[in-house]
Amino acid sequence: MPDTQLDDLQKAHIQHLQDAYADILQQQGYDAVLISSGAAPVRYADDQYHHHHGYGHFLHWTGLTGIEHSWLLVDREGHVRLWLHTPVDFWHATAEIPTEAWTQLIKVEGQAGTGAPEIAYPERLAVIGDPAQINAVKGQANPPALLAALDHLRICKSDYEVECIERANARAARGHGAAREAFLNGASEFGINLAYQQATAQREVDSPYHSIIGLNDHAGILHYQHYETASPARARSLLIDAGCRYRGYCSDITRSTAAPGENRFQALINGVESLQQRLCDAVAPGVDYVELHYRTHLGIAALLRAADLVKELSEEDMVERQITRAFFPHGLGHFLGVQVHDVAGKPRPSPEKAPALRLTHRLEPGMVVTIEPGLYFIPSLLQPILDGADSQYLNKPLIDELKGCGGIRIEDNVLVTDTGSRNLTRPYLPE
Ligand code: GLY
Ligand code: MN
Ligand code: MN
């Protein structure tokens, strides 16, 4: 899609927000809402700042990540004004006043101060954002009912948002290709991260979340947070979970790769891959995501049986006895948008047996979800079973052989369409 078309979609997105905000403000009895961009806090007892990404509702309008001390005012007639923080500052680069097509709909001006703009506000004003930024502003701070309505507005994505998420996928896919190649060439976790950043042309701090890059047993640590600078003596497996942003919108992609010769682990990857593809294909309007999560457990059970990792039990029994949960302890996925775990995912609480599930909706067109089944060898989860009454069903020698490969996760980003779904990842990263 040419960028001019994207600009038109962006204007349609903003117009949709203008109408929706006008309705919500009307319903909730406000004349206007003032949205803070937020600002990075300083590190405790230090003069260095954390990295800023931006408050979700501010990004929903502007996509401007990294912008601090800026304010957006939306009134119930749909007028929108943005004050960008443009201080005189010779230590740092300061924001330029944008001139893109969307500024035809949002009036933008600069302001030197960090506080809320000094204008005459309408009487019934809501102010939303990080309490540390908004506490000096007169108005109703973070009213829960308004926040819930604005979160709800983010559930179904506009065509503009879908295109941005797709472009974030295209960008991350380049990184995944480079990461895989670096792994097969013997790079360390640190080296793989450099290859990823080089290929995506994105600094890690600007990506939606800290890239998870685990070799061998580190692939079994769900949110592994370090990078070994040395390559392991024998590299057996790679798990990389890494995304990108495009105009504020996130991708969230995971791939698993076995080293040549790791045939059993490769067979398991193939099994998770085909399960993941079936689950992606099952995404459609009306599908209950909690049901899809349970279906994933049955799929994992089938893989455990086929691989001879769990013996003698039916697939249903494996799920019932929570054996599959030890191998697949996280949820099937979540909403994706300007936040990697986007808001409003849980109209009902997660089920007791799936406390980590971040999404409990019935799917509707316009939702963008991740589909990310996994199969891991996590000692702290497997040991209690190996020590208990169900140990007879587990193939301990095989678990011991494979636990050095850590685990597998395969994750794509999928749009729910009117008739089914569209995978936003696979066109750029087929495997
Ligand atoms: N990257 C974190 C997740 O997949 O949810
Ligand atoms: Mn995810
Ligand atoms: Mn992920």
176 plus 283 within the same structural domain: yes
Q: Which of 98, 124, 153 is the last residue of a domain?
A: 153
Would you say the CB of residue 210 lies under 6 angstroms from ligand 1? no
- Please report, for the domain that includes residue 326, its CATH number: 3.90.230.10
Task: Give me ligand 1 centre to Cα 250, in Å.
Answer: 11
- Show the tokens assigned to 27: 């319903």
Would you say the CB of residue 222 lies under 6 angstroms from ligand 1? no
134 plus 186 within the same structural domain: no
| pLDDT tens-digit series, residues 374-390 | 999 999 999 999 999 99
Task: Give me ligand 1 centre to Cα 337, in Å.
Answer: 13
Ligand nearest to the CA of 256: 3
To test the pocket of ligand 1, the residue of 221, 240, 336, 411 to mutate (highest count of ligand atoms within 8 Å of its CB) is: 411
Identify the pLDDT of residue 328.
Answer: 98
Atom of ligand 1 nearest to the CA of 341: 5
- Show the tokens assigned to 224: 């592994």
Atom of ligand 1 nearest to the CA of 223: 2
54 plus 23 within the same structural domain: yes
The range of the structural domain enclosing residue 254 comes to 159-428
Number of structural domains, the chain?
2
128 plus 199 within the same structural domain: no
To test the pocket of ligand 1, the residue of 252, 293, 371 to mutate (highest count of ligand atoms within 8 Å of its CB) is: 252
Tell the residue nearest (CA) to atom 4 of ligand 1. Answer: 252
pTM of the model: 0.97
- 401 assigned to a ligand binding site: no
Name every residue whose Cβ is closer than 8 Å to that of residue 389 and which is 6 or more positions away in sequence: none
Would you say the CB of residue 252 lies under 6 angstroms from ligand 1? yes
| Residue 256 near residue 213, CB atoms below 8 Å | no
Would you say the CB of residue 241 lies under 6 angstroms from ligand 1? yes
Ligand nearest to the CA of 253: 3
Q: Is 48 exposed, middle or buried (0-12, 13-18, 19+ CB in 10 A)?
A: exposed
140 plus 195 within the same structural domain: no
pLDDT over 90 (residue 215): yes
Q: What average pLDDT does this structure show over 138-163?
A: 98
Q: What average pLDDT does this structure show over 361-382?
A: 98
Confidence label for 355 from pLDDT (cuts 50, 70 and 90): very high
To test the pocket of ligand 1, the residue of 176, 210, 212 to mutate (highest count of ligand atoms within 8 Å of its CB) is: 212
Identify the pLDDT of residue 314.
Answer: 97
Tell the residue nearest (CA) to atom 3 of ligand 1. Answer: 252
Q: What average pLDDT does this structure show over 207-235?
A: 98
Map the chain to HEC letters.
CCHHHHHHHHHHHHHHHHHHHHHHHHHHCCCEEEEECCCCCECCCCCCECCCCCCHHHHHHHCCCCCCCCEEEEECCCCEEEEEECCCCCCCCCCCCCCCHHHHCCEEEEECCCCCCCCCCCCCEEEECCHHHHCCCCCEECCHHHHHHHHHHCCCCCHHHHHHHHHHHHHHHHHHHHHHHHHHCCCCHHHHHHHHHHHHCCCHHHCCCCCEEEEHHHHHCCCCCCCCCCCCCCCCEEEEEECCEECCEECCEEEEEECCCCHHHHHHHHHHHHHHHHHHHHCCCCCEHHHHHHHHHHHHHHHHHHCCCECCCCHHHHHHCCHHHHHCCCCCCCECCCCCCCCCCCCCCCCCCCCCCCCCCECCCCCEEEECCEEECCHHHHHHHHCCHHHHHECHHHHHHHHHHCEEECEEEEEECCCCEEECCCCCCCC
What percentage of the chain exceeds 70 in pLDDT? Answer: 100
Residue 192 backbone phi and psi in degrees, to 5:
-65, -40
Distance of CA 130 to the CA centre of its chain: 20
**Residue closest to 136 by CA, chosen among 109, 155, 118, 157:** 118
Atom of ligand 1 nearest to the CA of 334: 5
Identify the pLDDT of residue 170.
Answer: 98
Confidence label for 151 from pLDDT (cuts 50, 70 and 90): very high
Q: Which of 153, 172, 198 is the last residue of a domain?
A: 153
Q: What average pLDDT does this structure show over 99-125?
A: 97
Name every residue whose Cβ is closer than 8 Å to that of residue 85 and which is 6 or more positions away in sequence: 37, 67, 68, 69, 70, 94, 95, 110, 111, 112, 113, 114
Task: Give me ligand 1 centre to Cα 236, in Å.
Answer: 23
| Residue 28 near residue 161, CB atoms below 8 Å | no
248 plus 381 within the same structural domain: yes
Task: Give me ligand 2 centre to Cα 330, in Å.
Answer: 10
Confidence label for 431 from pLDDT (cuts 50, 70 and 90): confident
Atom of ligand 1 nearest to the CA of 212: 1
- Please report, for the domain that includes residue 49, its CATH number: 3.40.350.10
24 plus 53 within the same structural domain: yes
pLDDT over 90 (residue 68): yes
Partnered with residue 394 across adjacent β-strands are 310
Would you say the CB of residue 166 lies under 6 angstroms from ligand 1? no
Q: Which of 153, 177, 204 is the last residue of a domain?
A: 153
Name every residue whose Cβ is closer than 8 Å to that of residue 211 and which is 6 or more positions away in sequence: 193, 196, 204, 240, 241, 242, 243
| pLDDT tens-digit series, residues 276-330 | 999 999 999 999 999 999 999 999 999 999 999 999 999 999 999 999 999 999 9
Identify the pLDDT of residue 64.
Answer: 97
169 plus 140 within the same structural domain: no
- 252 assigned to a ligand binding site: yes
174 plus 223 within the same structural domain: yes
Task: Give me ligand 1 centre to Cα 409, in Å.
Answer: 10
220 plus 268 within the same structural domain: yes
The rounded distance, in Å, linking the Cα atoms of 118 and 137 is 10
Would you say the CB of residue 372 lies under 6 angstroms from ligand 1? yes
- Show the tokens assigned to 333: 């996925």
- 372 assigned to a ligand binding site: yes
Q: What integer best gives the mean pLDDT of the chain?
A: 97
Q: Is the Cα dihedral 98, 82, 39, 94 positive or negative?
A: positive
Name every residue whose Cβ is closer than 8 Å to that of residue 167 and which is 6 or more positions away in sequence: 246, 247, 249
149 plus 176 within the same structural domain: no
109 plus 251 within the same structural domain: no
How do strand 245-246 and strand 140-141 relate by DSSP bridges?
unpaired
Would you say the CB of residue 209 lies under 6 angstroms from ligand 1? yes
Confidence label for 83 from pLDDT (cuts 50, 70 and 90): very high
Confidence label for 105 from pLDDT (cuts 50, 70 and 90): very high
